[in-house]
Structures are given as C-alpha cells and as structure tokens.
Structure 1
Amino acid sequence: MELRHLRYFCVAAKELNMTRAAAKLHIAQPPLTRQINNLEKELGVRLFDRGPRGLALTAAGQFFYEHTLQILEKVDTTVADTRRIARSHRQLFSIGFVPSVFYGQLPLLVRGLRQKDDVELTLVELTTVQQIQALKAGRIDIGFGRLRLDDPEVEQEVLFEEPLMAALPKGHPLEGTTPSMAQLAEYPLILFPATPRPSMADTVLGMFRRRGLKITVSQEANEMQTALGLVASEMGITLVPEQVKRVQRDGISYVYLAEKHITIPILCSRRRGEVPSPVMQEANAILEVLVENRRSGRYP
C-alpha cells in the first residue's frame, strides 16, 4: 500500500464518482478503478457499495476514509515541517513525556530550550514503554516517564522520587485524613493508563499486591485526566504523583498517604552511549539545576 493509493481513495470517497475523481487526479478512469479494487483486496474489505446511482461508502469505508484523511494530513504537515527546518538550519530536538511530569518542572526545561534560536523543539506525549521504542527508532531524543525498564540500548536516570497521593471525590470518608494503603484498598480503584502495558497501572497494582491487599478495580482509563474525571464522578479513587495536586479540578480532593515511603520516580531516558549534542548538553545542564531545586526544597 502506497501513499498514492490512499490519496486516490480519498478523492474517490469525496467525489463518490470514479469519472469525476479520475478527472481531479488527472488520470484515466479505468486505472483509478483498478487501484481502488486492489486496495480493497489488500485490506480484505469492501470500501464502496457500487449501485446504479454511483458509489456509497460502506461502514468500513467511512472509517478508513476518516483515518486516512488524518494520515495524509500528518504526512503533509511532516513534509512541510521538514522543509521549514531545513530552510531555517535549526536542530530538531524531540521530547517524549508522560502527562503527569508536565505538572512539575518539565515546562521550565521546555521554556529554557525554546529560548535557543537554533533549536526546533517538539513535544510528544508517550508512555514510558513508547518512549523507549521511540528513542531506539530515533523519533525522540530524550524521554521523561515513570516506569523502570531494562533495555540495553537505553539508559534511565532517576531524577527524583515523588510521593504518591490519593485522589478522592469531594466528601469521601477519607477526605482530610492520611489513609493507609489498607484503608484505600477498601474502596474501588481507578487505574491509568489502561494500555499499553506495563505502565503506572501495574506499578500501583504491585504496591497493593506486595502488601497482601486485595482491591477492586472499578475502571481503567487511558489518560490521567479521564481517571480524575471518573474520580470526580465518584466512580472510585486513584493514586497520582504529588505534582498532580496542582490540577485544581472541581469535585476532587488530594490526600497524602500514611506510608510516606511510597513514591514513584521521575525517570529521564536517553540513548545509551550516544555522544550528547550541544542541545542535549544544554538540556542536561537545565535538568541539573531543576533537579537540585527540587531536592533542596526550592521547588515543591
């Protein structure tokens, strides 16, 4: 399957007429029809219903059309951005991150790097597992996550350990207390992210399991904000890193745990053995200051 096949399909799906679509694409109608037929065979589904009044998208065809438009838009944007970076002679530096680290000092790192005239900065929301894959593939240069993973091609540095807090619905019996893990286990738990695994969800499950505590998982969410919305809806409680308490959301209270030693790390992931570029050296210098600020109490 080639990009031109996707473009042919999108024009045909928009026009719902092979003759008009072929004219717009500046090709003959029979080759366009063959290309669409070949695409359907490759997918193993029928994309169009063909009737006397013309073409109509099937349910599968409509789904494929909507997602193909997104793919082509992303391709066009990527091509345009690539040309823009080449013209500006700026160095591309990509950061992968899990959302919960963005409530702390990561924005200060981004702000510092954005002040450099020769850097084109991109941010990509990825789980820690996805960050490892993206680092190995060269899609990002540095990642910030929560999960310790063992990969020979990637090194992980623990920036600091962050206390976990319980996010409770307003009016919850544990609001205003410092509950133990045993007390939390008595209430339905909301986990995030649901996929891909392993993730912070598995870390939290392990914390209860190691203490011999049985829990009831009421819901799994892919995003932290969704999990917090479920908490506000009184679907259950969830555990979040301390920095998340900066999220002032109606219907939610945050409480510290009785077990002060229960923490979750903020990890910085980089490609192992790679000579740091000037931009990476700058990022490392900024990180060193930010971590020291955190450890010395100058930044909560």
Structure 2
Amino acid sequence: MDLRQLRYFVAVATTKNFTRAAEQMHIAQPPLSRQIQLLEEELEVQLIQRNSRPVRLTEAGRLFYEQSLQVLHRVDQMKNTARQAGRNHRQSISIAYVPSTLYGGLPMVVRMFRQRYPETDVHLVDLGSIQQIGELKSGRIDLGFGRIRSNDTSVARTVLREEKLVLAIPPAWPLAAETGPVNLKDLEHQKLIVFPKEPRPSFADDVLGMLHEQGVKLAEVHEVRELHAALGLVAAEVGLCIVPAAARLRTDLVYRLIADEKATSPIILSHRLNDDSWYIVAIKQLIVEMYAQNPPWLDFQTNAFPSGLTADGAGAPFPADVEDLK
C-alpha cells in the first residue's frame, strides 16, 4: 500500500465516479482502477461497489475512506511543518466555534493561547457543530468547539461542561412575574423562538427534542438564523426563547433558569481521533487553568461539570489535571 493508492481511492470515493477521479488525478482510468484493485487485494476486502451508479463504498470502504483522509491530512501536515521550519514560517491552527461559545470561555482560552504561544497564529472559523465534524475529517480545521453530540468514530470529543439553559421572557408576560426556576411544562401552548434556522441539526433541534420528550405542545415555533435575532424577537414580544445561561445578552428581558435536569447544553471540544498534535494538549491545559481562575461566567448555578472534577481553595470547579480532559 502506498500514498498514491490512497489518493486514488479518496478521489473515487469523493467523486463517486472512476472517470472523474482519473481526470482529477491526471491519470488514465484503467491504471487508476488497477491500483484500487491492487489495494483491495492487499487488504483482502472490497472497498467499492462497482455495479452501482454512482459508485458506492462498502462499509469497509467507508471506514477506510475516513482513515485515508486522516492519513493524507497528516502527511500534508508533515510536509507543511517541514517547509515552514525550513523557511522559518509561523505555524497556524484553525479553531471552529459555534457563536454561543463566544459568551463563555472560548475568548479567554484563545487569548491565553496567543499569550502563551505567540509564534503560532490562531484562525477562528464560525461553523455549526455538525459541519465541524466534516471539516475536521477533511483537515480544514484543527479543533472545534460545539454543542451537538455526534457518534462519528473518527472524531474525539470531550465534554468540557454542561451549561444550563434559561428562558428569555418579555418583561410584561406572566412568566416574567416570578424570579425562580421555571419548568419546561410551563411552556405548554406558548410561542417559542428557536435558533439557528440552519444548518441543521443544531441547538434548535436539541431544544425542540427536549420539549418533545416532556410532551410539551407549543402554540407556535418561529425559527431565526442566530441568537441576537432570537432575543430581539423576544424583546418585541413575538415569543419566548431558550438560550444557554452565558448568553443572557439583553438587559431588557427577564431570564429564568430552567429547572429540568436535562435542560443543559454541552460545550464540546472536538478533534481528529488519534491526533497527538501539541496544540491539542496545550488547549486542554489552558482550559484547566481557565477553570482554576473561576471566571465570572463559571459557577455552580449555571454550569454542571463532568466527573473527575475537583475544586481549588476558593471552591471553583475545574479538572484536577489535563488528563481529565482526554
């Protein structure tokens, strides 16, 4: 097996067509097909179903495709690192995020990283949680901070904390008359604003799924593209909105903590499986240090932490060691 065969296979898997793959790789189709056949013979397993149009991957082929992407990305990384070292270029990493993480710890972590590693450039990319998975596998980003859980086995995920959810309420509405926690059942027959409208699945689907599990029937669901628009519509008395606790942005609204135990949204750090790049360990270590500083948005009332956490002398929860974040 060699890298050329992997590149040929990835081209076929991506284009779903041998002819287009051959054109993409600047090779005639017969030798390309032969190389993939030799690859299958070496692996002793069929990777591609050739009798379908477009061509399809077998289950083994799908798994091999994901791993091939990782191998080729790692090779490209090695080339770029060597070239940068030879030319004395700065290293750069790309970190994707969902916008709501900007109201919690992400800005602080990035700021600490830049101070600690000034020779490394950090590029931040606004990207949905599910889209982060594909971009990690393709090598376009190096780390992702999202909120949606995924079962993709080629990506490693660490839940940094479970952020509790609050209900944003127009001040004149009856639910704003009290200040204590509110139950999801209290949203029965209410108008609800959810975000983001797209791409899906997203935080909106988590919220709607949570209400469905509780059997809550809404009067109306209004979908908007982003958090600021959602809170603006709450201020306009269009409806209510469920948001992460750190995203209580408007001062002209009433916010009530949602009492239900499952009314949380995880902050999830994702990276490629088996990626041992130095910056992953560095980011996790900085998160440990950030938690230890007990920043204002990090508290027991609005955050729940995974097992294996301890508290410092001031009572602030944080991982005892970076090993707890692996």
TM class by smaller structure: 0.5 to 0.7
2:242 alignment partner in structure 1? 239
CA distance in 2, matches of 1:169, 1:139: 41
Q: Name 2:161's counterpart in structure 1.
A: 160
The C-alpha deviation readout for 1:175-228, integer Å capped at 9, x for no partner, is 133221111233100011111111111111111111111113341011111111
Tell me the residue number matched to 1:128.
Answer: 129
Q: Which residue of 2 aligns with 1:201?
A: 204
- For the residue of structure 2 that corresponds to 1:228, the secondary structure is helix
Alignment of 1:1-300 (within 5 A): 89-115=89-115, 116-175=117-176, 176-177=178-179, 178-245=181-248, 247=249, 249-277=250-278, 279-291=279-291, 293=294, 294=298, 296=311, 298=316
User: 1: CA distance between counterparts of 2:173 and 2:317?
Assistant: 30
Structure 2 Cα separation of the partners of residues 227 and 121 of structure 1:
30
Query: Aligned AA for 1:270?
Result: H
Report the more deviating stretch, 259-268 or 185-194: 259-268
Aligned to 1:4: none
How far apart are the structure 2 equivalents of 1:229 and 1:169? 10
Matched residues, number = 214
| 1:62 alignment partner in structure 2 | none
Unaligned ranges ≥5, structure 2:
1-79, 299-304, 306-310, 319-326
Deviations 1:125-162 (A, max 9, x none): 11101111111111111111111011121111111111
In structure 1, what is the Cα distance between the partners aligned to 2:317 and 2:255?
19
TM-score, scaled to structure 1: 0.66
- Which amino acid letter does the alignment assign opposite residue 264 of structure 1? S
Equivalents in 1 of 2:146, 2:188: separation in Å?
Answer: 26
Unaligned residue ranges in structure 1 (runs of 5+): 1-81
TM-score, structure 2 length as denominator?
0.61
Separation in 2, partners of 1:140, 1:217? 37
Moved over 3 A (4+): 85-88, 291-300
2: CA distance, partners of 1:231 / 1:137: 38
CA shift digits 1:55-107 (9 cap, x unpaired): xxxxxxxxxxxxxxxxxxxxxxxxxxx9xx96762111111111111111111
Counterpart amino acid of 1:265? P
Contact 2:193–2:240 (Cα < 8 Å) also in 1: yes
Contact preservation (8 Å) 1:218, 1:235: no
TM-superposition CA deviations, 1:42-65 (whole Å, max 9, x none): xxxxxxxxxxxxxxxxxxxxxxxx
AA paired with 2:101?
Answer: V
Which has the higher Rg, Structure 1 or Structure 2?
A: 1
Whether the 8 Å contact between 2:100 and 2:247 is mirrored in structure 1 is: yes
Tell me by how many angstroms 1:281 deviates: 2.3
Amino acid at match of 1:112: M
How many Å separate the matches in 1 of 2:251 and 2:189?
Answer: 24
Q: Please, what is the CA RMSD of the aligned residues?
A: 2.3
